[in-house]
Amino acid sequence: MSAAISPATSQSYGVQRVCRIWGLPRSSFYHATHRVAAAQQATRRGPVPPVADDSLLAAIRADIATSPFQGEGHRKVWARLRYGVGLVVGRNRVLRLMGENQLLSPYRRPPRPTTTTPAPS
């Protein structure tokens, strides 16, 4: 709204005027603007990893397909990728990719509570 052009003066309204009329502090306007800008940027911080997520996911799927076991956890998959194949990847990154793509082994269910039978009278 602050960037909108006034039909009478052919100038923009400005942040200060719009916030004063709407009864909002300017800090709220700038905070919302910063949130939108941050959401548009890449969410990953730090250096670019040597292996892209797509190729790492393909390696994870290939490792799971060649495994003789039914379900694999992220630690075994990470260890085989790191020490067997030689991909330098982090264990938490393997966990994140496997979780996002439903590749984790199923969780163990907690044991059912024991049922107590009433004592005979």
Q: Per-residue pLDDT tens for 30-65?
A: 888 777 766 666 566 788 888 999 999 999 999 999
Cβ contacts of 83 within 8 Å, gap of 6 or more: none
Q: Angle at CA 106, nearest 5°, toward 103 and 110?
A: 155
Instruction: Report pTM.
Output: 0.54
pLDDT digit string, tens, across residues 71-115: 788 999 999 999 998 998 999 999 999 999 988 877 666 777 777
Neighbours of 107 (CB within 10 A): 7
